[in-house]
Structure 1
């Protein structure tokens, strides 16, 4: 392999989005060209000397956008061009000089060794010279990425990345600016694409580096995006993943593998069971999945177990649960009216009946939920300890 064919092994190209980085652009391009001729540069409406600089290079692919539309839009244009040229991967890096193109082989070696993935350069944000706002922003991003995907990464904001183009081509994206780099890795993780860090170097030179990140506007957009991604995670992604687990394993296998054989302690498992039963019998219809996953996360309990037992309110049991809640609530409130007029056969009558006796229903729901959760938690704890003792013997 010649020096200029470093990306040939994985059929990759390099994409550089640039906007008013004339000071560093030539140095970045020249350094990239020592590793590969397969270079796509997107001039995102620059108003400085970028146009003249790019005119010196006849071999690279150049896309000139008439106005500045944002980094995310530029990257998406670059991905489209790379796919049209038949590349399987694209390495992206910024044009402000903070990345070292000499680290490009690191991405290639990682793919050759461990297979397809979306790779993000790990800049070691704890080293000297890293701006405090950049380090904080990265920790903020890492936290929400892990919440939304379950994947722990040490750097989620680096623009020095490798994208598997075929795997992300059918994902629908909505953002066009800096927040795109968050949207793309979260949605890729949701698709089951492996996301990994690789070590890279970074240089923050205040005399040369020009940052177009606008703290208030861009941080607000990133926060709004993370809010939306968290809602999708709680309402769709995690329930989808849990249902897939149940479908693949079946209840019996799930019970013995995920409930009995997980590394969590018997106390943690039994508390997770209790939480699931409590929320499943609560009067928060339509929001039980969101509530149980959020509380399991806050309390550091087993989310899968809690979610599984929150489904105690399955359709065949709903009439019995509603009747029990109303009966208990009537007793708690000391009402003389019985629930003898409750219609067991017609589900449509439940809602108006509950509305007429809302206070009784809510009170009964909490009493039943707390009682059932206590019983389920205690029984689970005893059974788990008995099984644990047998395994030790």
Structure 2
């Protein structure tokens, strides 16, 4: 669970996780927060990895995958700190790993009423179409942060997950597919943020999707490392 200045939301999110999915270990990657995020997360029972400065979602996720690899986890799932991902869907997303290396909790797969409009919708549709062709399967929500990974994907993410905040979900997914990881999606419902202030207004969201398109183009030019040097 990457978290940056989420003191208002993360406590409730973690308590709900403990209540509804107590069988899972929870790691919070505190991405250089300047508020009480780290303390609140520890008080709620999570293991906390404190980064010395704000590295962005990509850097936080890469640190989380390195932790998972170092501690021998076979499967991991990313859940947002703001409570938008419903814990009841975790098992469903994990079930996708029975047939693929990466399982995406998709917001646009005939479940729930989550919608986007305007330039953001156009960009997301274009990205989904491009990556679906690359992956050889229909994907509708390639920017979703609600994703599970098996050991193969964890290893791959440790090599390629972009540490910079530039379309990290798209770049990481494209590189995973190009390195041979298989992908499926599972329909989930998205909830409103439970507390705090959204990090993206509509204009910033559109700008992020623009960067994601650029990240797609960049990731298609990156050459995967040979297995012996990964």
Band of TM-score, shorter chain: 0.7 to 0.9
Q: Tell me how far 1:21 sits from its aligned partner.
A: 2.0
Match of 2:14 among 23, 29, 32: 29
- The aligned runs of 1:323-334 (5 Å cut-off) are none
**Structure 1 CA distance for aligned equivalents of residues 105 and 76 of structure 2:** 14
The answer (yes or no) to whether the contact 1:129–1:204 under 8 Å persists in 2 is no
**What is the match of residue 187 of structure 2?**
199
Tell me what 1:330 maps to.
none
1:123 pairs with 2:123: no
Q: Distance in 2 between matches of 1:153 and 1:110?
A: 13
- Asked if structure 2 preserves the Cα contact closer than 8 Å seen for 1:89 and 1:164, the reply is yes
Partner of 2:160: 173
Q: Does 1:91 align with 2:49?
A: no
Q: Normalized per residue, which structure has more helix?
A: 1
SS where residue 73 of structure 2 aligns? Answer: coil
Aligned mates of 1:187, 1:129 — CA distance in 2 = 27
Conservation of the 8 A alpha-carbon contact between 1:18 and 1:41: yes
Compared CA separation, residues 143 and 39, structure 1 to 2 (3 A): same
The reply on whether 1:228 has 2:218 as its aligned counterpart is yes
Deviation (angstroms), 1:210: 1.7
**What residue number does 2:199 align with?**
211
SS in structure 2 at match of 1:55: helix
Determine if contact 1:37/1:60 at 8 Å carries over to the other structure: no
- Taking a change above 3 Å as real, the CA distance of residues 161 and 69 of structure 1, as seen in their structure-2 partners, is same
Q: TM-score, normalised by structure 1?
A: 0.49
Alpha-carbon distance in 2 for matches of 1:218, 1:199 = 23
Gaps of 5+ in 1: 1-15, 238-393
Residue 42 of structure 1 contacts residue 64 of structure 1 at CA under 8 Å; is this kept in 2? yes
Q: Distance in 2 between matches of 1:55 and 1:207?
A: 18
Aligned 8 A contact 1:22 1:50 in 2: yes
**Counterpart for residue 158 of structure 1:** 144
CA shift at 1:61, angstroms?
A: 1.8
**Long gaps (5+) in structure 2:** 225-230
Contact 2:62 2:161 in 1 (8 A): no
8 A contact 2:28–2:46 mirrored in 1: yes
State the structure with more CA Rg: 1
The alpha-carbon deviation at position 97 of structure 1 amounts to 1.7
Aligned ranges 1:33-52 → 2 under 5 Å: 33-34=18-19, 35=21, 36-52=23-39
Could you say which residue in structure 1 is the equivalent of 2:227? none
- Return structure 1 stretches of 4+ with deviation > 6 angstroms: none
Change (3 A) 1:37 1:231: closer
Aligned runs of 1:304-315 on 2, under 5 Å? none
Q: Using the TM superposition, give the Cα deviation of residue 168 of structure 1 relative to its aligned residue in structure 2, in angstroms.
A: 4.0
Q: Deviations over 1:68-87 (max 9, x none)?
A: 11101100100111111110
Separation in 1, partners of 2:161, 2:146: 21
Shift of 1:188: 1.6
Aligned to 2:177: 189
Partner of 2:56: 70
Give the distance between the partners of 1:110 and 1:150, measured in 2 at CA: 16
Higher relative contact order structure (alpha carbons within 8 Å, sequence separation ≥ 6): 2
C-alpha deviation, 1:18, in angstroms: 0.7
- What SS does the aligned partner of 1:196 have? strand
Alignment check: 8 A CA contact 2:156 2:176 kept: no
How far did 1:217 drift?
Answer: 5.5
Q: How many residue pairs align between the two structures?
A: 216
